[in-house]
Amino acid sequence: KMVLKAILEDTYNLMKVIKRGREVVSGSIAERICDSYKQLSLAEKETFFNMLVSDHGVAETTKIGITLDRSNPVESIQRLQNLRHITQPQFAGLFRVLGKAQGGVKFMVNMRTDLSKLTGKSTVEATPAIVPVIDHELKQLLSVWFSSGLFHLQRATWESPSRLLEKVAASEAVHPILGWQDLKRRVGAYKRCFVFTHPCLPGEPLVILHAALLENVADTMEKIVPALFEHMPDSVEDPARVKVANFYSISRPIDGLSGIDLGSNIVRRVMHRLQAEYPKLQHFSSLSPIPGFNNWLFGQINRHLQHEVFARILDDVRPESSDLLPLFSDETHVKMMQLFDVDNNKDLYTKLSMTLESQEWITSPVLVSELKQPLMKLCARYLFALKHRGHALDPIANFHLRNGAVMYRLCWQADQSPNGLSQSCGMMVNYRYYPELTEGFSEKYYFTKRIPVGEPFASVISIEPDSLPLDP
């Protein structure tokens, strides 16, 4: 409590300094606030956040009124700038000063991580409302500070500092690294581990990208995982075998930077780095998970199930639902009824949901064969048609498309691990990168929100594919 009292007093004093325009003398107070904050419990941090909003949010005398004159653009812009200043929360100025303190940027990143921990765990009634308010200001500042043009790209090897290698190992959530020998292989021959760092957080990996240098585009994890153990770490690479760079894991280890745009050229920079090493390397692809598909699919199944239950209550007079799209075509619907041996939609959706949740269907050749087409069509719809502000809803799809990739191929039974089945019924996606087309595709996706697709993906949902270079 003594520390909490001290940080509240220092915050009041620092806000007075800021309001007087004397930020230059605020360094020692800012550093004390940063040091005190680290000693607070999560509950005390919650009290601190609530104080920021209640006591340092909006000045009591703030009045907003503005008239703009297009015939006098300079004066109008000055008025807009003044408006921007007075409409910012007062604690935004506090954050700017704290960010300039020694270790201040890392402090702000950690503060944003603490905010996320309070979501759903708050003990103060006002907290759920103030979390997004503070997070918005932190996100705005961090987005400016972490300019993608300042990212430093380096390859992690077995000779890299142990601290960096430890962070690489700890950050790998997609395909966990099983000890030092496994890590040695992941950074050894025919593998590449690239790390992006930034001057604002020296020595901290912001993005980690793993690639396997293979002879073909991998469409299952079974083709990538054995490659991780095929070669000894000290093997000499044969350039003739390096034909495709398969990106199989991309992670962002720092929770406090979630949602921060770290740039749309991450993969392109890695491609250029690999081509500098292997000038004849022209084929690049990812094998990417689809983490949100099952959640969306089960949500759709439950909506249809509720619709059927409601219809029965109304004696089979089904209410119209303009946004309730059919899961299957008429022909596929009949086949699914036969497959699950049911004669009504309620039983169909119930059995389908239970089957997919159990994951036992993957051991049945009949179910694997019969579910392939309907599940792939649904997954393709999820990836291609579902949007957030015009761009792909799936975050991994959006990442690759912004980097200039093509949604090339939907891969059936690509990841049959429990995690792969629970995320996307075992499906994964190849996002292909064509070096001469990536920049154009990236710009087109950003401005027109159009998703480029390859013929294998297009055939699943019967749309026209983009014109792409032929594979040799």
CA distance 400 to 456: 17
Give catalytic status of residue 56 as yes or no.
no
What the block records as the tokens of 58 is: 């909006």
Residue among 436, 40, 80, 442 nearest 266 (CA): 442
How many other C-beta atoms lie within 10 A of the C-beta of residue 224? 22
Out of 171, 283, 400, 442, the active site residue is: 400
CA distance 165 to 286: 23
- Within 8 A by CB and 6+ apart from 145, the residues are 99, 105, 200
Out of 264, 288, 424, 442, the active site residue is: 288
CA distance 131 to 117: 10
Give catalytic status of residue 369 as yes or no.
no
Cα 244 → chain centroid: 25
Contact predicate 439/405, CB 8 Å: no
Give start and end residues of each alpha helix (H) in 89-178.
Answer: 90-100, 104-118, 127-145, 162-171
Query: How would DSSP label each residue in 347-399?
Result: HHHHHHHHHHHH-GGGG-HHHHHHHHHHHHHHHHHHHHH-EETTEESSHHHHH
The residues that bridge with 242 in the sheet, in sequence order, are none
Phi and psi at 265, nearest 5°, equal -125, 20
Residue among 328, 378, 372 nearest 348 (CA): 328
What the block records as the tokens of 339 is: 């497959």
Residue among 259, 167, 273 nearest 211 (CA): 273
SS3 249: strand
Q: What does R_g of the chain's alpha carbons equal in angstroms?
A: 27
User: Any idea which residues carry the catalytic annotation?
Assistant: 288, 400
